[in-house]
Amino acid sequence: MARPTPELIYALRQTAQNLQHGAPYQWGHMGGCNCGNLAQQLTKLNKQQIHQYAMQRHGDWNEQAEDYCSTSEMPIDLLINEMLNAGLVLEDIKHLERLDDRQVLLRFPLEQRYLKHNVRQDVIAYMNAWADLLEEELLEKITLPSMEALEMA
């Protein structure tokens, strides 16, 4: 599971909001699918640029993650590297494309856990649930000083 970073949490929420407000969505397009929309937010590249980079190698996002090489100078690997630097791990890319991360799905009531990977509203719900999960994990790691410590300072 991803490292909970403010950048990633913001990107997930902003991507969900963009999709909610009509951002182009096309599951079969590398720049306009689930991962493509998040990649747009994290990298500031547009969907055409992302698609062009991805088409320089074969496969969908799952295969791109499998073939990822951290030392490659291929544009898609540089793009994936930016996504990883924001807190993602390669498995997150695979899960996002299929909306199937167990930890995220457990946040939904049982009857709502069967999300369709290519349905805009399901992608929005998944991204928001994932952002909530990561935010909770991040907040658990934050320790504020006690009042006594502040008064002694």
**Is 127 a member of any domain?**
yes
pTM: 0.88
Give the integer Cα–Cα distance in Å for 13 and 5.
12
Q: Report the C-alpha dihedral over residues 44, 47, 51, 52, rounded to 10 degrees.
A: -70
**Is 30 a member of any domain?**
yes
The number of folded domains in the chain is: 1
Q: Please give the backbone phi and psi of residue 11, each rounded to the nearest 5 degrees, phi first.
A: -60, -40
CA-based nearest residue to 94, from 45, 26, 141, 38:
38
**Is 106 a member of any domain?**
yes
Domain range holding 84? 6-152
**Is 145 a member of any domain?**
yes
Which pLDDT tens digit goes with each residue over 4-59?
899 999 999 999 999 999 999 998 898 999 999 999 999 999 999 999 999 888 88
Residues 6+ apart with CB under 8 A from 98: 62, 117
